[in-house]
Amino acid sequence: MASYDYDLFVIGAGSGGVRAARIAAGHGAKVAIAEEWRVGGTCVLRGCVPKKLLVYGAHFAHELADAASFGWTVDGARHDWPTLIANKDRELDRLNAAYMRTLANAGAELVMGRATIADPHAVEVDGRRITARIILVAVGGWPWKPDYPGIEHAISSNEALSLPEFPTRIAIAGGGYIAVEFAGIFNALGAKVTQVYRGEQILRGFDDDIRAFLAKELTAKGIDIRLGVKGEKIEKTNQGLHYHLSDGEVLDVDQVMYATGRKPNTSGMGLDVVGVALDENGAIKVDADGRSSVPSIFAVGDVTDRINLTPVAIAEGHAFADTQFGDRPRQADHMCVPSAVFSQPPVATVGLNEQTARAVGHDVAVYKADFRPMKYTLGDNGERTLMKLVVDRKTDKVLGAHMVGIDAAEIIQGIAIAIKMGACKRDFDTTIGIHPSAAEEFVTMRTAVA
């Protein structure tokens, strides 16, 4: 029997990789994990966590504006961008240290440096060759930008999280969740925001009613959404940047941010050398257990380009470790995964949207509630909330729940449990609502829309 340095070697210390390493070590495996920068991955260092902290910071602008209607006098309020960034960085330092302690406490060895695959059972880290019975790739994804003149002057979400100076004029290219989230952040903090998207509506893949409703709310808050256009050139000037659009218009801005997608971070890893099959986007092809075309090499998380969400990567890493090292064979469940967009107002969703439900053959009944939240009734804040249920007429099963509005993520998380369990519309109807709350609208919608 072959002898290896480790039972498991993980490449990438993000959410999925750390979970896999920790659980495998807890099962008694000898584990090492490599990271070339800091422990925590995209979510902790360049994504969900710092972005949500900036969303919190930006939303105080709305809270301050609403305070007067409740009798508060707020004089001299102003925002200091460097303070927000410094405090955010301090929290990331704390999380990085916590992740390192988690690995150490679990008994997994952290190897700092860039790891590449040398053969099906070996990696190289800064010239050091390390062998393992199983190799797990969990290197995530990286922002993608198009190639055209001046693109080197554009930033991605990575840089947007740590800008030394606040941009008073910014163009954001893209229509996905990252684009709309940053549009909301910069807009609320006082920037003039232009969002440029080549598609017909933002948030492709979400329910059409949700997409249109959010676009209307973002526009009402002052975000200039340009649909059906894209950037073609960026010129640097003494006053900022000239951002040339495909319709001939030139925007004068301080920053151009691209949020036009991410690609699996597989380049230069040696995967091609050992024969690991990749798809056309560079993602590692895996089976339901996370195994690649090379039996000893597995992958979890965004590098597989399945459902690119942190909790999914964690679930995949945990299932992998239980199966390979814990004698508890199981697979991560990718069905009915809830998700949220921390736009302003936020979006949350679980299950099928109306268009998909119809496309796959369901006879659909739709229930909707569109209202002004109670919180805003004393003032002149015109923000509205939309809730929607998609129901199969024949079985009464709730196929999907969708929301735009205050606390959408918090509300949909609970509803996701019900939908995951197969709840029917009658279950919603017989549940007593919590009054007064926005969430009660999900159990008081009685009449299907035409």
Mean pLDDT of the region 274-298:
97
Examine domains 6-142+263-325 and 345-443 and report if their fold is the same: no
Provide CB contacts within 8 A for 180, sequence distance 6+.
Answer: 195, 202, 203, 214, 218, 341, 343
CATH says 6-142+263-325 is which class? alpha beta
Classify domain 345-443 at the CATH topology level.
Enolase-like; domain 1 (3.30.390)
Active site residues: 435
Give the pLDDT band (50/70/90) at residue 191: very high
Mean pLDDT of the region 139-144:
94
State the virtual CA torsion across 307, 308, 312, 314 in degrees, nearest 10. Answer: 150
pLDDT tens string 296-335 = 999 999 999 999 999 999 999 999 999 999 999 999 999 9
**pLDDT above 70 (res 177):** yes
CA dist list (Å): 251 to 151, 187, 188, 246: 15, 16, 20, 11
CATH classification number, 151-260, choose in 3.50.50.60, 3.40.640.10, 3.40.50.300, 3.40.50.920: 3.50.50.60
192 beta partners: 169
Q: Where are the domains of the chain?
A: 6-142+263-325, 151-260, 345-443
pLDDT tens string 79-91 = 999 999 999 999 9
pLDDT value for 157: 95
